[in-house]
């Protein structure tokens, strides 16, 4: 008997390099991806900075987070969302992101959370 897949939603709200939180959330997502569940990844607030193009983290001896995000499709993490308001507030646009993401308004985010069995934010 197969168990019904659950829905796990991960909310990335941290800047990419100021702390290790962005990387820590991404590691959680990749770990969850191998469990064959429904995975949502949502970038909100300052988390959208993780999606900025042309990051050169080698300048501060850090690993490239946007490159790691580019590997999400290999893990079959395809439900990648971004808060449209957060992009706008930061002068970012969908077509200048390092990663393809589905824009969300507040109602869409509310629905994502309400449909989730568990939600993790970092």
Partner 1 sequence: MKLTILVHSAPYSSQAAYSAYRFTESALAAGHEIQRVFFYYDGVHASNGLSTPPQDEFDLVKAWQALIEKHELDAISCVSSALKRGIMDAREAHRYEKAAANLAEGFVLSGLGQLVDASLSCDRVVSFGA
Partner 2 sequence: MSTLHIINKQLPAQGLSACLRVMRPGDAILLIEDGVYLCATEPIAALPDTVHCHVLQEDLQARGLALPVAADNCQMVNYTGFVTLVCSHSRSLGWC
Q: Please say whether the beta carbons of 26 and 65 come within 8 A.
A: yes
Residues 17-56 contacting partner 1, CB under 8 A: 17-21, 24, 27-28, 31-32, 34-35, 37
Dihedral-angle region of residue 61 (phi above 0 means left; psi in -120 to 50 means alpha; beta otherwise): left
In the list partner 2, partner 1, none, the entry touching 56 (Cβ below 5 to 8 angstroms by class) is partner 2
Residue 10, classed as helix, strand or coil, is strand
Rounded CA-CA distance 94/98 in Å is: 9
Rounded CA-CA distance 10/69 in Å is: 13
Nearer to partner 2, 51 or 77 (CB): 51
Residue 35, classed as helix, strand or coil, is coil
Among 30, 45, 75, 102, binds partner 2 (CB under 8 A): 45
List residues near partner 2 by CB under 8 A: 11, 13, 15-18, 44-46, 49, 52-60, 62, 66, 85, 90-91, 98, 106, 109-110, 113-114, 116-119, 121
List residues near partner 1 by CB under 8 A: 6, 8, 17-21, 24, 27-28, 31-32, 34-35, 37, 60-63, 117-118, 120-122
């Amino acid at each position: 008997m197969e168990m019904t897949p659950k829905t796990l939603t991960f909310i990335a709200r941290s800047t990419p390099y100021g702390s290790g939180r962005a990387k820590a959330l991404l590691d959680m997502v990749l770990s969850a991806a191998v469990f064959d569940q429904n995975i949502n990844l949502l970038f909100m607030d300052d988390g959208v900075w993780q999606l900025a193009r042309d990051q050169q983290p080698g300048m501060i001896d850090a690993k490239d987070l946007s490159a790691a995000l580019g590997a999400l499709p290999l893990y079959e993490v395809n439900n990648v969302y971004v808060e449209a308001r957060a992009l706008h507030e930061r002068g970012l646009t969908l077509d200048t992101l390092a990663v393809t993401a589905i824009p969300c308004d507040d109602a869409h985010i509310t629905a994502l959370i309400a449909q989730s069995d568990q939600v993790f934010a970092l």
